[in-house]
Amino acid sequence: MDEGLRRLAEIRCFLIDMDGTIYLGDRLLPGARAWLDLLDSRGIVYLFLTNNSSHSRVEYAQKLQRLGLPVPEDKILTSGEATALYLAENYPGASLKVFGTPPLLQEFQRHGFTLTDSDPDLAVLGFDTTLTYDKLWQLCDLVTAGKPYIATHADINCPTETGFKPDVGAMIALVAESTGRRPDVIVGKPNKPIVDALAAKTGFPVQAHCMVGDRLYTDIALGRWGIATALVLSGETQPEDLAVSQFKPDFVAEDIAMLGDLLREALAG
């Protein structure tokens, strides 16, 4: 067995992206169910790890179940939950102004934070699909005032069945143009706070994980922390992007089905 397949066979926990990896919109991608069946049959731990903070892990579990994947909530970690964990560790008791969807606001409330529109301690930017000009103006005012500014993640676009829609990275760029400031901390992939959160959640050493995803600058960039990475070409990344990227995956597959074939070969030894 070559060294690459040996490393794949030794992975103790697969971290699986969702948008562009397991599904696009409401369409399950080929091989997704077989991939999870393979992991379950071999007793390999997995955790869905998504930067999309517009939904809670409860909603993601419900969506996966609708698509035929009975995944429990405790196997899902979002950048929203990771941000709440990061703030609980570093800013306990802080009041927050959260720019995000209702499920994201509820995530912070579940972690005991007070949400306020009046002189918050921190400003938190998530993937706010309910963003209005008034909310954007409020965020810029807080950022200009020097409030600590945290973003759940920095993905530029979110993949859909018909293309892409603007994500937090685009909102960060807009705020930066207006205020001259970028977030003080970005929690989601490929940043250290989400690595700390997932390691605490799985209990495995960082090097025992493999990130499976479709984005070079988030999923594959996690490799800088010692995590193995597997790129699937079913979402954002095209082969020509890979050729010029500074982020190089350990494994490349057309989709999750082909990655499953590769893992079977590795496990067969």
CATH number of the domain located at residue range(s) 3-51+189-268 in this protein: 3.40.50.1000
Do 3-51+189-268 and 91-186 have matching folds? yes
Residue in this structure with the two tokens 């903070």, named with its chain if needed: 53
Other CB atoms within 10 A of residue 118 CB: 6
Other CB atoms within 10 A of residue 30 CB: 14
DSSP 182: -
Report the alpha-carbon distance of residue 98 to residue 80 in Å, rounded: 11
Nearest-CA neighbor of 99 among 38, 54, 49?
A: 54
Is the sign of the CA dihedral 58, 198, 52, 25 positive or negative?
A: negative
Token output for 150: 């945290």
**Where along the chain do its domains lie?**
3-51+189-268, 91-186
Average pLDDT over residues 39-49: 96
At residue 1, the pLDDT reads 56
Average pLDDT over residues 23-46: 95
pLDDT in tens, 77-95: 999 999 999 999 999 999 9
pLDDT at 231 over 60: yes
In order, the DSSP letters of 117-169 are: SSS-SEEEE---TT--HHHHHHHHHHHHTT--EEES---SEEEETTEEEE-HH
Token output for 114: 């007070």
Report the alpha-carbon distance of residue 78 to residue 81 in Å, rounded: 5
The distance of Cα 100 from the centroid of its chain, to the nearest Å, equals 16
DSSP 245: -
**Upstream peptide bond of 190 is cis (omega within 30 degrees of 0):** yes
pLDDT in tens, 175-194: 999 999 999 999 999 999 99
Lowest-confidence range among 124-128, 206-210, 235-239? 235-239
* Class of the domain covering 91-186: alpha beta
